[in-house]
Amino acid sequence: MKAVFYEKYGDPDVLQYGDQPDPKVGPDSVLVEVRASSVNPVDWKITAGYLDAALPAFFPVIPGWDVAGVVVQPGPSVTEFQAGDEVIGYVRMDTVAFGTFAEQVAAPVRALARKPRNVSWAEAATIPLVGLTAYQALRAVGVGEGDTVLVHNGAGGVGNYAIQIAKAWGARVLATASEKNHDFLRSLGAEPLTYGEGLADRIAGAAPEGLDAVVDFVGGDDLPASLEHLRTPGRVASVVDAEVKDRGGRYIFVRPNPDDLLALTELVEAGSVKPVLAETFPLERAADAFRSSMEGHVRGKIAVTVGDQG
């Protein structure tokens, strides 16, 4: 099969496009014909070797954790899916080797759910990692009807999902971003706040009775500034700052979860959550997709398409 792979850590220039062995399908996995994947910052951070202490690599490595595609072969013990099923998945394991930037991937059923029927392959591929991150962060702090929630970095890939999910759950959402992204936040249903110096005063003005929950997708000084307005200590989750645990909060490293992923599919099909697709690259241009992500100016997600999108 054709795939993108690298044989040593480095910048996007180490990515190659060529032939790799076909995946082997274990008992609890399915073989997926990949229609699209997407780029997350963790992908190029792993490629650079930044996560080697936590996730050992077995070279050559095929990068990518997000997938949207069609099941072509269920493993012998799989009952959840059959050939022809359209699926999305967050295909993360505890090592890196066999990722989703390929024509095929062997994905464990614990990583998969059915694809939303109302979005394209490219849009569907942008959902799993960021959608699950937002979903699990909001659930960790118990967001629900009537809550006032602050989302840090609301215009980012995870933040825009968090806004939409929290709104679907009946919350009022405040979100930080630069002023150029305020209209975008409003389009998602959030009330924008400019990040940086003076944020605590802006929060006080927008939510004089305080915040019910805070979810942080950027780190930095804005998080402590917002916690002084948190009415219930501990209702804070961060994907960046593990020290949030010292304040009684939750540090989130997203986990594959088929029930959570199915819940996201249902939110997308209901129109409550809409993927924000910024750019699309063909598989052979994955290095350019990495570079675009690394520039940090993309609003939404970058998809990588594989083969026929029909």
Q: How far apart are CA 271 and CA 297, in angstroms?
A: 26
| Count of residues making up the chain | 310
Residue range(s) occupied by CATH 3.90.180.10 in the chain: 2-127+275-305
H or E stretch covering 259: helix 258-269
Instruction: With beta carbons less than 8 A apart as the criterion, state whether 30 and 75 touch.
Output: yes
For 272-300, the pLDDT digits (tens) are 999 999 999 999 999 999 999 999 777 88
Could you tell me how far CA 271 lies from the centroid of its own chain?
Answer: 18
The structure's pTM equals 0.97
The whole-chain average pLDDT of the chain stands at 96
State in words which class domain 130-251 has. alpha beta
Residues of the chain with confidence (pLDDT) below 50 = none
Q: How far apart are CA 165 and CA 163, in angstroms?
A: 6
Residue range(s) occupied by CATH 3.40.50.720 in the chain: 130-251
* β-bridge mates for residue 303, sequence order: 38, 280
Task: Please give the single-letter amino acid code of residue 121.
Answer: W
State in words which class domain 2-127+275-305 has. alpha beta
296: left (phi over 0), alpha (psi -120 to 50) or beta: left
